[in-house]
Amino acid sequence: MPEAPVLTLRGVSKRFGAVQALADFDLEVHAGEVVALVGDNGAGKSTAVKAIAGVNPPDEGVIEWQGRPVSIHRPHDAQNLGIATVYQDLALCDNLDVVGNLFLGRELRRFGVLDEVRMEQRSRELLATLSIRIPSVRIPVASLSGGQRQTVAIARSLIGDPKVVILDEPTAALGVEQTAEVLDLVERLRGHGLGTILISHNMVDVMAVADRIAVLRLGRNNGVFDRRATTTEEIISAITGATESAVTRRQARIREEREVRGEGHGESYGEEGR
Ligand SMILES: Nc1ncnc2c1ncn2[C@@H]1O[C@H](COP(=O)(O)OP(=O)(O)O)[C@@H](O)[C@H]1O
Ligand SMILES: [Mg+2]
């Protein structure tokens, strides 16, 4: 990808008392790319997300936005740059309808009163753009399926027209059909040129939609893999720590392939971050 990444993290660290939650963490996200961030419980995924989202600023390190260093001290800073985060609990208001949720906290007004007509119209347009099928934008979100709720939460994050969207375990609570619905939406985000960071425990989901897979282990980078050039086993090895063998095997394989193609030796690719 020739363009500069829209979001870059370099050497980001965060400590909580005795726990080094994130250490020297690097990450790049390009426009139109889905980067999965995977790792065991406690690996530092949420800490990384909170650093990017301004919820818990890092102790050390640099965050660059479109190639320029930026400071993200509060959620507002991240939002202003164009970083949207969909947390696992979704924070939807069950009693409000879809329109009410999409525009929660940024209601459109006309002459000082809520402009329900325009909000409803924009809601329909947004959902249509994303091919999200909801029976009606005027029903309470409580009556929607888990998958539909997740798509509404993602749609809401797009209201401010962000360039990067962070999805924290968007399919964790969903069945197969609903998961497919959400993964379809993730692919559409890529189609719209957004950079997406997908936190997930589910390797099937990750292998289905990610372009690159960044592995965190004990707060550190443990490999960034090009999805088309890796296997689930390799990712799991990196997550669990059996990386030495997996990475060595992989490098050997890439070397072999290059030799077969007559390209000779060289650095392996798709593993920046190591
Ligand atoms: N607010 C906090 N206070 C103390 N320790 C924390 C806090 N947040 C996270 N941690 C610790 O930091 C490490 C990384 O946690 P986290 O980023 O939540 O991992 P993950 O999201 O990958 O499961 C864990 O050891 C966790 O217990
Ligand atoms: Mg977490």
Quick one: 125 and 135 in the same domain?
A: yes
Non-local (6+) Cβ contacts of 244 within 8 A are none
Domain edge (last residue) among 106, 141, 161: 161
- Is 99 contained in some domain? yes
Quick one: 156 and 167 in the same domain?
A: no
pLDDT digits (tens, 9 = 90+) for 241-255: 875 556 666 767 887
Q: Is 21 in the pocket of ligand 1 (CB under 6 A)?
A: yes
Lowest mean pLDDT segment, chosen from 134-138, 184-188, 262-266: 262-266
CATH number at residue 12: 3.40.50.300
Q: How confident is the model at residue 267 (pLDDT cuts 50, 70, 90)?
A: very low
Quick one: 77 and 174 in the same domain?
A: yes
- Is 272 contained in some domain? no
Residue-wise DSSP of 53-117: HTSS--SEEEEEETTEEE---SHHHHHHHTEEEE-TTTT--TTSBHHHHHTTTS--EETTEE-HH
- Is 245 contained in some domain? no
Quick one: 44 and 99 in the same domain?
A: no
Quick one: 20 and 54 in the same domain?
A: yes
Tell me the mean pLDDT in the region 126-154: 89
Confidence check: pLDDT of 274 > 70? no
CA proximity to 163, closest of 49, 32, 71, 48: 32
pLDDT of residue 236: 94
Q: Whose CA is nearest to atom 13 of ligand 1?
A: 21
Cβ contact 186:209 at 8 Å: yes
Q: Whose CA is nearest to atom 5 of ligand 1?
A: 16
Quick one: 18 and 137 in the same domain?
A: no
Quick one: 99 and 138 in the same domain?
A: yes
Q: How confident is the model at residue 105 (pLDDT cuts 50, 70, 90)?
A: confident
Cβ contact 151:185 at 8 Å: yes
Q: Is 45 in the pocket of ligand 1 (CB under 6 A)?
A: yes
Q: Please, what is the average pLDDT of the chain?
A: 89
Quick one: 123 and 173 in the same domain?
A: no
Q: Is 179 in the pocket of ligand 1 (CB under 6 A)?
A: no
- Is 18 contained in some domain? yes
- Is 211 contained in some domain? yes
Q: Is 91 in the pocket of ligand 1 (CB under 6 A)?
A: no
Cβ contact 166:133 at 8 Å: no
CA proximity to 8, closest of 59, 52, 44, 43: 52
Residue ranges making up the domain that contains 133: 92-161
Number of domains in the chain: 2
Domain edge (last residue) among 192, 210, 228: 228
pLDDT of residue 262: 77
- Is 258 contained in some domain? no
Quick one: 71 and 169 in the same domain?
A: yes
Domain edge (last residue) among 212, 228, 244: 228
pLDDT of residue 181: 86
Q: How confident is the model at residue 13 (pLDDT cuts 50, 70, 90)?
A: very high
User: d(Cα 74, Cα 126) in Å, to the nearest integer?
Assistant: 27
- Is 254 contained in some domain? no
- Is 233 contained in some domain? no
Q: Is 16 in the pocket of ligand 1 (CB under 6 A)?
A: yes
% of the chain residues with pLDDT over 70: 91
pLDDT digits (tens, 9 = 90+) for 161-196: 999 999 998 888 888 888 888 899 999 999 999 999
Quick one: 183 and 154 in the same domain?
A: no
Quick one: 31 and 20 in the same domain?
A: yes
18 alpha carbon – ligand 1 mean position (Å): 11
pLDDT of residue 82: 97
Q: Which of 13, 46, 218 to mutate to test the pocket of ligand 1 (most atoms within 8 A of CB)?
A: 46
Roughly how many angstroms between the first and final C-alpha of the chain, as a whole number? 19
Quick one: 35 and 145 in the same domain?
A: no
Confidence check: pLDDT of 273 > 90? no
User: d(Cα 14, Cα 18) in Å, to the nearest integer?
Assistant: 11
pLDDT of residue 178: 86
Non-local (6+) Cβ contacts of 189 within 8 A are 34, 130, 154, 165, 196
